[in-house]
Amino acid sequence: MRADAGRRGFLRAAAAAAAGVALPRAIRAEPRLALRLGYHAITWDGRDEQAIDEIAALGFHGIQLRANALQTYGECPAQLQRRLEQAGLALLCFSSGSVDAVAERESEYLETHLVHARFVHAVGGGMMQVTSRRPRDRAPTAAEFERLGRLLTEIGRRSADAGVRVVYHNHMGAFGEGPEEVARVLEVSDGRFVGLLLDIAHYRQGGGDPAAAVLRHRERLAMLHLKDVVSPAPGDRRPQSYRFVELGRGRVDVPGVIASLERIGFRGPAVIELDSVSDPARTPRECAAINKRYVVESLGLSL
């Protein structure tokens, strides 16, 4: 009963925050940092039904799903909305996929991401992530950054008309890989329509300090991926040079990130993400339980 009440309170808080409604103090949680904390279904590798059940069973009240969910629910978003509500989960973010700076594909990207935005809105979500693919074996040119910025802005504009906020996800192998590249993507895109989803592990692997990034990009910061990475050489772009692990087991200064979020009074969503199980002997649920213990016991956060 207590877990159900907590989930109901979370959903009420998320809905009220989206609508700009102040909550009565009696139903407002007072954790160390008032984050809307959720968990990413990516670890379950497309087994979304299992992910929904297990994420909810661990006590989380928010979830991020990927575009593969359209294979099951694309024609019946209301069914997914009911499924999430029954589990006590809010759709904090939706992974909409990637774009690049190839002019010939712009119309395709605009159409695809608008379809996704309408789906997210129908499910009851309000945020959608987009990432980017950098050219192979070279840095993007200035013209390519400008083209990407215009494309992201237009995707964001159309998605906003559908009731969904677009956030750019920094990522290894993307235009926004290193710290200055992330800053450049934000510079060439319109902040009215494109926020920043700061993935703290990708930012660290890209050679940056994610705690400093929170402060640097505070005006554009819309949400975070709480994530950790093991790598002998941050900045090494080869995929085989790093792997993602549970929080507190890698090189990311996660407590420093939380301190920066406290400093700026950040209240947006944060999603714990682990791309795949860190050990073949573990299940996704076991990995999620490790992450849960870290955020609750080590970081002092509330689910």
Give the residue from 166, 182, 264 showing the smallest Cα distance to 215: 264
Q: What is the pLDDT of residue 32?
A: 63
In a domain, 286, yes or no: yes
Backbone angles phi, psi at 164, to 5 degrees: -130, 135
Could you give the 3-state DSSP secondary structure of residue 131? strand
Residue 115 lies in a domain: yes
Task: Please report the pLDDT score of residue 233 as a whole number.
Answer: 77
Distance CA 65, CA 94 (A): 5
Task: Quote the pLDDT of residue 232.
Answer: 78
Q: Is residue 238 part of a domain?
A: yes
Q: Is residue 303 part of a domain?
A: no
Going through the chain in order, the beta strands assigned E by DSSP cover 36-40, 62-66, 90-99, 127-132, 165-169, 194-199, 221-226, 228-230, 243-245, 269-272
Question: Measured on CA atoms in the order 64, 77, 23, 28, is the torsion positive or negative?
Answer: negative
**Residue 290 forms beta bridges with which residues?**
none
Residues of the chain with pLDDT under 70: 1-32
Give CA–CA dist 34/224, Å, rounded: 13
pLDDT at residue 234, rounded to an integer: 72
Tokens of 67: 């575009």
Provide the pLDDT for residue 18.
44
Residue 63 belongs to domain spanning: 2-298
Do the domain assignments include residue 82?
Answer: yes
Query: pLDDT, tens digit, for every residue of 40-63?
Result: 999 999 999 999 999 999 999 999
As to burial, measured by CB atoms within 10 angstroms (0-12 exposed, 13-18 middle, 19+ buried), residue 282 is middle
Task: Indicate whether 150 belongs to any domain.
Answer: yes
- Domain tally for the chain? 1
Question: What are the structure tokens assigned to 299, written together?
Answer: 């970081």
Write down the pLDDT at residue 265: 95
271 occurs within a structural domain: yes
- Looking up residue 66, the CATH number of its domain turns out to be 3.20.20.150
